[in-house]
A and B are shown apart, each in its own frame.
Chain A
Amino acid sequence: MDELEAIKVTFFQECEELLADLEGGLLAMQEGVGDIETVNAVFRAVHSIKGGAGAFGLEPLVRFAHVFETLLDAVRSGEVPNTVDLAAVMLRASDVLADHVSAARGLGDVDMAASAAMADELKAWTDPSAAPPPAAVAAETVDAPPPAPVAADPDALDDDDLGFDFQPMTISIDAQAADAELIPTNVWTVSIRPKSDLYRKANETALLLRELSRLGPIVATMDDSALPTLEFLDAEAAYVTWSVRVETDDGEEAIREVFEFVDGDCELDIVRGEAPVEAALANLLSAIEPPAPQAAVQAAPEPVAEPAPVASAPEPVAEAPPPVVAAAPAAVAAAPAAAAPAKVTQADVPGPGQSVIRVDPERIDRLIDLVGELVINQAMLAQRVGEYGIAPSSNLAMGLDELEQLTREIQDSVMAIRAQPVKSVFQRMPRLVREVANMTGKQARLVMDGENTEVDKTVIERLSDPITHMLRNAIDHGLESPEERRAAGKNPEGVVRLAALHRSGRIVIEVQDDGKGINRERVFSIAVKKGLISPDVQLTDEEIDNLIFLPGFSTADKISDVSGRGVGMDVVKRSVQALGGRISITSRPGLGSTFTLSLPLTLAVLDGMVVDVAGETLVVPLAAIVESLRPKAEEVRPLGPVGSVLAVRDSFVPLIDVGLALGYRNTSPSPTEGVVLLVEGEDGSRAALVADAIHGQRQVVIKSLEQNYQQVEGVAAATILGDGRVALILDVDAVINLRRRESPRPTEPSLIAAE
């Protein structure tokens, strides 16, 4: 059953989305901004999860979802007031529901005791308002069919007990008594008196007869005596009634089931036996007194005394074989409406729906690789054409320009296939925050920003762990307890902000808390105690903050339940670096800390500035460049023994010779001889990079250095230029940091690497 498995996969995907909707809606309700549409959406989410789970027989999930749904339904109808407290409870319930979904998927277990407790808690909200069912039941009974008086009682017990069956027969009518023994017990008489509602709901008497004929041979008799003349005919009304003789061994239950859908929309009598008497009499009566034939029919069964002449029974319209019956004009009113349009359908047109194509990711990866090659190839071609000195206005050059445009568009489109909003990772975080807050006894509110920031799928998958860790850390170590916060004059509820944004061609994730900030004295002393730094070392605040990324550093005196788990920030840092990313922290005492994580958008094709440094060709990411300039001698000021700064419009920025930073040369030429690129790092710090010459802007395809060689400090990746040479792509932030290392301060290399 492959197809079913595929649907199951879809179901779990849908569950993820529904759980996210659920959580989003509940959070809105908790904020007090949940309107009725929010409540409806929340209800639908739980309802749909339950529905799908039912289809797959996921019992525990169905049961829990059912309790949840019942409560939401009560909220929806206003029986249970929609309060902030209730939303908080339901948020926890949504976590349990998510656990059930995961368990159903085979990922993890559900704490059944906790689930049962949660279910009880949910039930407690609906119970006090005393059973909602009565309303429903009442509605049901109101429209229940008018009890068929004669038929119901004796027949209810029929087949098993001949004694019961026999009695009413003997009492009924003398003339029939003799015949009764001759009538086979599998003959039934069904009288059908449709109401107009039956046709209004697109039910159809002919179809009922067809269904009856599936039970056994039938003889249907139509009574159209109530049919008015054409001028008085209401085309929508029901005038015709039926009496049907059915021969079936299936019993009354099966007959009644045929009428399940028209329950209440037609009067129905099911009587064992031929019962031609009633039918005939009804006919006779209606013939005599034209008004209210229905009343006459109803009155008929009981008082019958005089046997009617059998001969006068109305003519059978249809006989045994089913097809004939189906052809009979069932209801004058409904027939024309029903017949005409149905068959003309242009069948076989595929449904529109939302078409989704599932593609093997490998194919997309391959496509992206190929497009990368295409870009390189196009660049080479352009360069060759340039070398041959072909005029830019020539057809060839113009054609090449168009090719470049197209290549870019293809590239963007291909990248867009794999790009996804970070939402899928972010939406798991509110729950994490709730859980961690609960565990640590802190009050935390998560604010998220930039959920729709798009990044390559491959990066998204790897964002989850570092974000999780940073959030845990922010709540566990960053936020104070509610009491401490109150004492410090803060809102007892701490705010943790999770944001995603694009900056300098990278994705930046920030986790910010408004807690106490890093206790620098303590961090410093711990680092000294653990032998990570020497006690006499002089560190800036920023450097102390970043000590927490050193291997073997853990600020908690005992490894806490939450942040512990054997993973320190150093592990996070290493895993981020392995992705070509960076992580850093800034902190302000009493005001909180901010973790900043930046990752490449991967394989992103990069717009870069091609520069010459000490005979090497390098690419500087364009996104990092603020401007390029040729410095005048008076703008360069020496600072310290080796450093110098550049005056740029009222401010000084450190001058960094790229050749020196990367080790291409040992002495820097004067900045005035080269070109200066004013760049901005991720933390907003500026620097002036000195290069020998600028070759111009170019789009380059990033080739991972780590994959093909190894990570090199100061270098983000490599690329292949139009002439086929490999050029390194500069990691601007790393170069800025490298230069800080060069500055004559006696710090340990490992510490600086941690920045």
Chain B
Amino acid sequence: MRTILTVDDSRTMRDMLRMALAGAGFNVVEAVDGEHGLEVLSAHRPDVIITDINMPKLDGFGFIEAVRVDDDYRAIPILVLTTESDPSKKQRAREAGATGWIVKPFNPEKLVEAIRRVAA
């Protein structure tokens, strides 16, 4: 079973992701911000990471950069949660090393499709 790490400070969003992902047969681990995400990362070695951008402590950009400079984790695909209205954020996330993105609000099929596209 594939493990997906979701990083989002919003409980609602984490729950939504969990529902969609668990329903599609993924194992889901969660983190509440970038810092926490890095901790969970080492404990669970996810196959794919889904992260929000606006978070306290360590935001999505910082989190992605931190993952990408770590030799152990940098090959893990990272999808960022973004909104239609903000192309500049998507761009910044890509520069930080995001593999792909999911536009909020997402529907479960789109989410699973995005994971399929980046997961080995």
Give me the interface of A with B, judged by CB distance under 8 Å.
Answer: 3-4, 6-7, 10-11, 13-14, 40-41, 43-44, 47-48, 51-52, 54-55, 57, 66, 135-137, 139-140, 143, 200-204, 206-207, 211, 258, 260-261, 264, 334, 337-339, 341-342, 344-354
Tell me which of B11, B46, B86, B98 contacts A345 (CB under 8 A): B46
Kindly report which residue of chain A lies nearest to residue B10, judged by CB atoms: A48
The 13 listed contacts between A and B (C-beta, < 8 Å) are A10-B11, A14-B12, A55-B16, A55-B106, A200-B74, A201-B97, A258-B117, A337-B75, A342-B45, A345-B45, A346-B45, A349-B43, A353-B14
Taking a contact as CB atoms under 8 Å apart, the answer to whether B19 and A4 are in contact is yes
B-chain residues with CB within 8 Å of residue A347 when the two chains form the complex: 1-3, 27
Kindly report which residue of chain A lies nearest to residue B81, judged by CB atoms: A51
Taking a contact as CB atoms under 8 Å apart, the answer to whether A202 and B55 are in contact is no
Tell me which of B68, B94, B117 contacts A211 (CB under 8 A): B117
Smallest CB–CB gap between B91 and chain A, Å? 5
Tell which of A10, A48, A260, A346 has the most Cβ of chain B within 10 Å: A48
Q: Report Cα–Cα, A206/B77, bound state, in Å.
A: 14
B-chain residues with CB within 8 Å of residue A66 when the two chains form the complex: 85
Taking a contact as CB atoms under 8 Å apart, the answer to whether B91 and A139 are in contact is yes
Taking a contact as CB atoms under 8 Å apart, the answer to whether A10 and B19 are in contact is no
Q: Report Cα–Cα, A52/B105, bound state, in Å.
A: 8
Taking a contact as CB atoms under 8 Å apart, the answer to whether A338 and B120 are in contact is yes
Taking a contact as CB atoms under 8 Å apart, the answer to whether B28 and A351 are in contact is yes
Taking a contact as CB atoms under 8 Å apart, the answer to whether A204 and B3 are in contact is no
A-chain residues with CB within 8 Å of residue B40 when the two chains form the complex: 351-352
Taking a contact as CB atoms under 8 Å apart, the answer to whether B54 and A43 are in contact is yes
Q: Report Cα–Cα, A41/B54, bound state, in Å.
A: 9
Taking a contact as CB atoms under 8 Å apart, the answer to whether B27 and A135 are in contact is no
Taking a contact as CB atoms under 8 Å apart, the answer to whether A143 and B13 are in contact is no
B-chain residues with CB within 8 Å of residue A261 when the two chains form the complex: 99-101, 117-118
Interface Cβ pair total, 8 Å cutoff: 150
Taking a contact as CB atoms under 8 Å apart, the answer to whether A344 and B45 are in contact is yes
A-chain residues with CB within 8 Å of residue B86 when the two chains form the complex: 136
Q: Report Cα–Cα, A6/B11, bound state, in Å.
A: 12
Kindly state whether residue B29 has any CB partner on chain A within 8 Å: yes
Question: Chain B: interface residue count, which band?
Answer: 35 or more
Q: Give 11 A-B pairs besides A52-B12, A55-B12 with Cβ atoms closer than 8 angstroms.
A: A44-B55, A44-B56, A51-B104, A54-B104, A55-B13, A200-B97, A202-B78, A334-B75, A341-B75, A350-B29, A353-B14
Closest 10 interchain pairs by CB? A351-B29, A261-B100, A136-B88, A52-B12, A11-B12, A54-B105, A353-B30, A48-B10, A55-B105, A7-B15
Kindly report which residue of chain A lies nearest to residue B94, judged by CB atoms: A201
Q: Report Cα–Cα, A579/B14, bound state, in Å.
A: 40
Taking a contact as CB atoms under 8 Å apart, the answer to whether A10 and B12 are in contact is yes
Taking a contact as CB atoms under 8 Å apart, the answer to whether B54 and A339 are in contact is no
> Contact string, B4-38, partner A, CB cutoff 8 A, digits 1/0?
00000111111110010000000111111000000
A-chain residues with CB within 8 Å of residue B66 when the two chains form the complex: none
B-chain residues with CB within 8 Å of residue A52 when the two chains form the complex: 10, 12-13, 16
Smallest CB–CB gap between B64 and chain A, Å? 9
B-chain residues with CB within 8 Å of residue A344 when the two chains form the complex: 45
Tell me which of A4, A204, A341 contacts B45 (CB under 8 A): A341
Taking a contact as CB atoms under 8 Å apart, the answer to whether B76 and A342 are in contact is yes
> Contact string, B54-95, partner A, CB cutoff 8 A, digits 1/0?
111000000000001000101111100101011110010010
Q: Report Cα–Cα, A341/B47, bound state, in Å.
A: 9
Taking a contact as CB atoms under 8 Å apart, the answer to whether B118 and A352 are in contact is no
Q: Report Cα–Cα, A341/B120, bound state, in Å.
A: 11
B-chain residues with CB within 8 Å of residue A339 when the two chains form the complex: 120
B-chain residues with CB within 8 Å of residue A206 when the two chains form the complex: 120
Taking a contact as CB atoms under 8 Å apart, the answer to whether B13 and A48 are in contact is yes
Q: Given A41-B56, A338-B120, A345-B45 in contact, is the A353-B32 Cβ separation under 8 Å? A: yes
A-chain residues with CB within 8 Å of residue B45 when the two chains form the complex: 341-342, 344-346
Smallest CB–CB gap between B75 and chain A, Å? 5
Taking a contact as CB atoms under 8 Å apart, the answer to whether B32 and A354 are in contact is yes
Tell which of A14, A135, A337, A351 has the most Cβ of chain B within 10 Å: A351
Tell which of B1, B28, B55, B75 has the most Cβ of chain A within 10 Å: B75
A-chain residues with CB within 8 Å of residue B87 when the two chains form the complex: 136-137, 139-140
B-chain residues with CB within 8 Å of residue A354 when the two chains form the complex: 32
Smallest CB–CB gap between A64 and chain B, Å? 14
Q: Report Cα–Cα, A51/B30, bound state, in Å.
A: 18
Smallest CB–CB gap between B16 and chain A, Å? 5
Taking a contact as CB atoms under 8 Å apart, the answer to whether A7 and B16 are in contact is yes
Q: Report Cα–Cα, A52/B77, bound state, in Å.
A: 25
Taking a contact as CB atoms under 8 Å apart, the answer to whether A51 and B13 are in contact is yes
A-chain residues with CB within 8 Å of residue B9 when the two chains form the complex: 44, 48
Taking a contact as CB atoms under 8 Å apart, the answer to whether A348 and B27 are in contact is yes
Taking a contact as CB atoms under 8 Å apart, the answer to whether B75 and A338 are in contact is yes
Smallest CB–CB gap between A741 and chain B, Å? 54
Smallest CB–CB gap between B7 and chain A, Å? 11
Taking a contact as CB atoms under 8 Å apart, the answer to whether A202 and B16 are in contact is no
Kindly report which residue of chain B lies nearest to residue A206, judged by CB atoms: B120
Q: Report Cα–Cα, A686/B72, bound state, in Å.
A: 70
Kindly report which residue of chain A lies nearest to residue B88, judged by CB atoms: A136
Kindly report which residue of chain B lies nearest to residue A8, judged by CB atoms: B12
Q: Given A51-B104, A347-B27, A354-B32 in contact, is the A342-B13 Cβ separation under 8 Å? A: no
A-chain residues with CB within 8 Å of residue B91 when the two chains form the complex: 139-140, 143
Taking a contact as CB atoms under 8 Å apart, the answer to whether A204 and B44 are in contact is no
Tell which of B32, B43, B91, B99 has the most Cβ of chain A within 10 Å: B99
Q: Report Cα–Cα, A44/B54, bound state, in Å.
A: 6
Smallest CB–CB gap between A253 and chain B, Å? 16
Taking a contact as CB atoms under 8 Å apart, the answer to whether A203 and B99 are in contact is yes
Q: Given A41-B56, A201-B98, A354-B32 in contact, is the A342-B10 Cβ separation under 8 Å? A: no
Kindly report which residue of chain B lies nearest to residue A339, judged by CB atoms: B120
Taking a contact as CB atoms under 8 Å apart, the answer to whether A202 and B11 are in contact is no
Kindly report which residue of chain B lies nearest to residue A263, judged by CB atoms: B94
A-chain residues with CB within 8 Å of residue B106 when the two chains form the complex: 55
A-chain residues with CB within 8 Å of residue B119 when the two chains form the complex: 207
Q: Report Cα–Cα, A347/B48, bound state, in Å.
A: 13
Tell which of A3, A201, A207, A347 has the most Cβ of chain B within 10 Å: A201
Taking a contact as CB atoms under 8 Å apart, the answer to whether B77 and A140 are in contact is no
Taking a contact as CB atoms under 8 Å apart, the answer to whether A349 and B29 are in contact is yes
Q: Report Cα–Cα, A467/B75, bound state, in Å.
A: 56
B-chain residues with CB within 8 Å of residue A51 when the two chains form the complex: 10, 12-13, 81, 83, 104-105
Kindly report which residue of chain A lies nearest to residue B90, judged by CB atoms: A140
Q: Report Cα–Cα, A457/B14, bound state, in Å.
A: 27
Q: Report Cα–Cα, A526/B56, bound state, in Å.
A: 57
Q: Report Cα–Cα, A339/B119, bound state, in Å.
A: 11
A-chain residues with CB within 8 Å of residue B43 when the two chains form the complex: 349, 352
Smallest CB–CB gap between A140 and chain B, Å? 5
Kindly report which residue of chain B lies nearest to residue A12, judged by CB atoms: B12
B-chain residues with CB within 8 Å of residue A3 when the two chains form the complex: 19
